[in-house]
Amino acid sequence: MIKRTESKKGQIQKKVLIQAPPDVVFSALTDARDLIRWFCDRASSDAREGGELTAFWKSGKTGIGGRARYIRIQPGETVELLWIDDGKGVLPEPATHTLSYSIRSKRCTCEVIMSDRDESSLDEETLALLDSGWNSVLLELKDYCERKARAGKPRPAAQP
């Protein structure tokens, strides 16, 4: 279940519980091989502060690409990106669209808080569309991480 925690002008914040360890969630958010399993169709990722993430999504016969710079990264805890090209072309400097994930370990789960902030003026209709879209994206993240965590667990030995 995705919980909307906050919605201010230009910001969407959501929380999701994922039954997977923090390292699995962190990898899903930063490793190109994982990103293409739930987020985009193609990706490259240099997951370090100052490194870049590029992503490409198919759309019919064409597609759209985006590029972001990692501005804060703490393995297993935080991923923060500044979008410098949102698919409509390079954004004017200074770019103001940030996407951040906080990963908090809670017993056998992780609580992931996603915040999508853009200080440029977005109309209410666009914000509502983005808000709804994030529900789908975070459910994909949850599903992928939980499947990956289950696949990585050792299976109990068969009883004779």
Those residues whose C-beta lies under 8 Å from the C-beta of residue 13, and which sit 6 or more positions away, are: 4, 5, 6, 7, 113, 114, 115, 116
Per-domain residue ranges of the chain:
2-152
Token digits of residue 44: 């490259």
**pLDDT for res 132:** 86
- Which SS3 state, helix, strand or coil, does residue 47 take? coil
Preceding omega of 94 cis (within 30 degrees of 0): yes
**pLDDT for res 157:** 54
Low-confidence ranges of the chain (pLDDT < 50): none
**pLDDT for res 156:** 58
Fold of the domain built from segment(s) 2-152: Alpha-D-Glucose-1,6-Bisphosphate; Chain A, domain 4 (3.30.530)
